[in-house]
Homo-oligomer: A and B are copies of this chain.
Amino acid sequence: MNKLINDPANVVSDALRGVADAHPDLRVDHEQRIVYRADSPVRGKVGLISGGGSGHEPLHAGFVGPGMLDAACAGEIFTSPVPDQMLAATKAVDGGAGVLHIVKNYTGDVMNFEMAAELAAAETKVAVASVVTDDDVAVQDSLYTAGRRGVGVTVLVEKIAGAAAEQGRSLAEVTDVARAVNANGRSMGMALTSCTVPAAGKPTFELPDGQMEIGIGIHGEPGRRRVPTASAAEVAEMLVGPILSDLDFTGGSGVIAFVNGMGATPMIELYVMYHEIATILAKAGVTVARTLVGSYITSLDMAGCSVTLVKADDEILGLWDAPVRTPALRW
């Protein structure tokens, strides 16, 4: 296993030490494995927390900072954090305006965030709301998931809801914005290689050279089908086609188009893909209003990519454009 790690058992805690060392404007609770904005709680602002299994970096810790998340709870690799972490984060980021939980739709995450919300209701006066992202059109149910999986749209929900919270909107308003982004977002991904979980020490699945998996999940869950590798133009069709079939993306103020690398995909390939995707969207009459190209929700060292589209109105675009200052997204 060729990885830049120490003991496979300590990858998450070692990485959190690196996050703390590299980013003095974050505060890391190493015991609870929670990454905070150093200035949290922000009085009067809705607190945003997210979290999930590790291995998807920069999601979620890389999105903690002004204009995005107040805290991120890190689980073990591909394993949900526990309710105690989410409860601690909920208490810590509450600035008096309530806390929104942003949860990817995986059984463990959903259950543990629900339990944390119940504990918060029992133990505290903090108002808690939650949004569950479920944007992956590839499969209906899957390993770890009832319903659709939450993938790329989560990054956009965190950015856009984060901006709404920063503007001082109420918990109900921030929750509505987050749900609207998820409802108007669809994604699909593919893999050229498996990822390797450090503790397992071998690839999660076998993908022979010359084959690719279309509709892959971010934990290496099976997708729709395995097919021979194809050109970027053909891969773009295989990903964008199902997304456009699932929701009408024409009209409105256009879409936010997000092309994401799965962890081991070089930028040059993401730009080749982006051109093919932009070409398909133009032919389909879909206007691209904003773009994001890079590796933001990954699956360890998997090679491959995903496409996420969010249909936007001017309000959503304004929130997208609002300033953000996190390790992985800043403008």
Chain A residues within CB distance 8 Å of chain B: 2-7, 11-12, 14-19, 21-23, 54-55, 57-58, 62, 192-193, 209-210, 212, 229, 231-233, 235, 259, 263-276, 278, 288, 291, 293, 295, 298, 300-301, 303-305, 325, 327-328, 330-331
Q: Which of B192, B274, B275, B331 contacts A2 (CB 8 A)?
A: B192
Q: How many copies does the complex hold?
A: 2
Q: When A264-B303, A301-B303, A330-B331 are in contact, do A269 and B22 touch as well, CB less than 8 Å? A: no
**Nearest B-chain residue to A325, judged by Cβ:** B331
* Given A17-B275, A21-B274, also A266-B300 (CB < 8 A): yes
Besides A14-B271, A15-B272, A267-B295, 8 other A-B contacts (C-beta < 8 A) = A2-B209, A2-B210, A2-B303, A14-B275, A18-B270, A21-B275, A266-B300, A269-B301
Contact partner of A273 (CB less than 8 A), chosen from B4, B55, B300, B331, is B4
Contacts of A267 in B (CB 8 A): 57-58, 62, 263, 295, 298, 328
> Residues of B contacting A278 with CB < 8 Å?
18, 21-22
